[in-house]
Amino acid sequence: MAGPAAARQLADLGAEVFKVEQPDGDSLRSWGPPAPDGTSWWFKSHNRNKRFLALDLHDADDRARVLALALTCDVLIENFRPGRMDAWGLGYDALRALHPGIVYASISGFGQDGPYRDRVGFGNIAESMSTIRYVTGFADRPPVRVGLSLADELAALQCVIGVQAALLARARDGVGDRVDVSLLEACVAVTQGQVPEFAALGAVRERSGNLHAALAPSNIYPTRDGRWFAIGGNADGIFRRLAALMGTPELADDARFIDNRARTRHAVELDDLIAAWTVTLDAAELDRRFAAAGVPAGGVYSVKDLAADAQAQARGIIRTIHDDAGHAVATVAPVPRFAAHPSVLDHAGGAIGADNDAVFAEMDSARS
């Protein structure tokens, strides 16, 4: 998923993207509930704004077509195990020799070198080895999977950053580059204070459920109507406002809660006090009160809740595009947003090989 996600984000930013998939289609086409044409809704959203080519890289003629196409492009993104593209004659060195300006991005499990270079790497493995799974969950239970494919999305973001940086550098010196992204390193990059704390103190962060290791209060709390509500009151000024909102302003001067470090040491006691108050009010009433008081808070949403949320609707976070058959496909709006150069939302993921004839006819025309 990482390579296609990176290419989708570049397509959102206005790039013309050619998705090359095997003749029987990308495996993501069969993941999750199917649309009327049998292709998964997920695939249609995940591969929006692209042109679709079906080519068999095990076939010499199709490899030659991919090479010819790559030589007309600014960027190539590949998501195979290291060495696979080289074996097909489509590796970085081969393309750079013919197209010195190409930006060649490779996403793999563990990177293009090192002792794990040749291992198969999936997001599940990267999230586990990066420490993300180790610190996720409750202390008395096994590590917990993040509910989404976090590693793939993080790797895609790092790939997009790398591609854009390489294109900017090429604009200055005319030289292309190799962008090497590993799922493992993309996950390690977001582990915040764990590495410096371990290096300096030998500290190993453990699972702490919904308690934050360094901030308090920062948790989710029950509501009267059976929902959950997130509150972030860790800054001293914000905590003072929270205490007043709860009707217990004296908590802000309590030695246990006088600053963030004290609150973190007494986070369980503090969370019990907050939960005893939130459970007396419905989520909607809590939301209204917190917004008025200027204390960061919000409901713990399902996708149904997100779709109904006023901010999500006002910002158009969920948009509608259409596939080749005219079926409406819900998709998430591009991020970030621009004032002068708006992002592209044109069409959903199309049929296998839908653009083969048109793309190669355009190439033939350009050569003639």
Residue 235 belongs to a domain with what CATH number?
3.30.1540.10
Q: Are residues 21 and 164 in the same domain?
A: yes
Q: How far is Cα 7 from Cα 324, in angstroms, rounded to an integer? A: 20
Strand locations in 135-271 (E):
177-182, 218-222, 228-232
Q: Tokens 């993501």 — which residue?
A: 28
The CATH number for 343's domain is 3.40.50.10540
Q: Are residues 180 and 320 in the same domain?
A: yes
18 within domain boundaries: yes
210 within domain boundaries: no
Taking only the tens place, the pLDDT of each residue in 32-41 is 999 999 999 9
Query: In the structure, what pLDDT confidence band is assigned to residue 203 with cuts at 50, 70 and 90?
Result: very high
pLDDT number for residue 294: 96
Query: In the structure, what pLDDT confidence band is assigned to residue 282 with cuts at 50, 70 and 90?
Result: very high
Phi, psi dihedrals of residue 230, rounded to the nearest 5°: -90, 135
Query: In the structure, what pLDDT confidence band is assigned to residue 201 with cuts at 50, 70 and 90?
Result: very high
Checking phi first, is residue 45 left (phi over 0); if not, alpha (psi -120 to 50) or beta? alpha
Strand locations in 109-186 (E):
177-182
Taking only the tens place, the pLDDT of each residue in 237-260 is 999 999 999 999 999 999 999 999
Q: What is the pTM of this model?
A: 0.93
Closest residue by Cα to residue 159 from 83, 104, 82: 104
Q: At what angle do helices 236-245 and 283-293 cross, to 10 degrees?
A: 130
pLDDT number for residue 364: 87
212 within domain boundaries: no
Q: Are residues 295 and 319 in the same domain?
A: no
Q: Are residues 173 and 247 in the same domain?
A: no
Is 152 considered catalytic here? yes
The answer, yes or no, to whether residue 236 has pLDDT greater than 80, is: yes
Q: Which of 152, 177, 180, 271 is catalytic?
A: 152
Q: Are residues 275 and 346 in the same domain?
A: no
The answer, yes or no, to whether residue 267 has pLDDT greater than 80, is: yes
100 within domain boundaries: yes
> E strand or H helix at 238, and its extent?
helix 236-245
Q: What is the DSSP string of 332-362?
A: EPPSS--SSSPPP-------TTTTHHHHHHH
8 within domain boundaries: yes
**Structural domain containing residue 294:** 218-222+228-299
Q: Are residues 362 and 342 in the same domain?
A: yes
Per the prediction, the chain carries an average pLDDT of 96
Q: Are residues 153 and 111 in the same domain?
A: yes
Q: Are residues 53 and 87 in the same domain?
A: yes
- 367 by Cβ neighbours in 10 Å (0-12 / 13-18 / 19+) ranks as exposed
Domain boundary among 275, 299, 323: 299
202 within domain boundaries: no
Domain boundary among 253, 277, 299: 299
Q: Are residues 10 and 116 in the same domain?
A: yes
> E strand or H helix at 4, and its extent?
helix 2-12
3-state SS class at 131? coil
Instruction: Provide the domain count of the chain.
Output: 2
Q: Are residues 107 and 251 in the same domain?
A: no
Taking only the tens place, the pLDDT of each residue in 40-68 is 999 999 999 999 999 999 999 999 999 99
The answer, yes or no, to whether residue 366 has pLDDT greater than 90, is: no
- What percentage of the chain has pLDDT greater than the value 90? 96
207 within domain boundaries: no
359 within domain boundaries: yes
Q: Are residues 185 and 257 in the same domain?
A: no
Q: Are residues 76 and 55 in the same domain?
A: yes
The answer, yes or no, to whether residue 368 has pLDDT greater than 80, is: no
Domain boundary among 299, 331, 354: 299
Q: Tokens 């003629």 — which residue?
A: 61
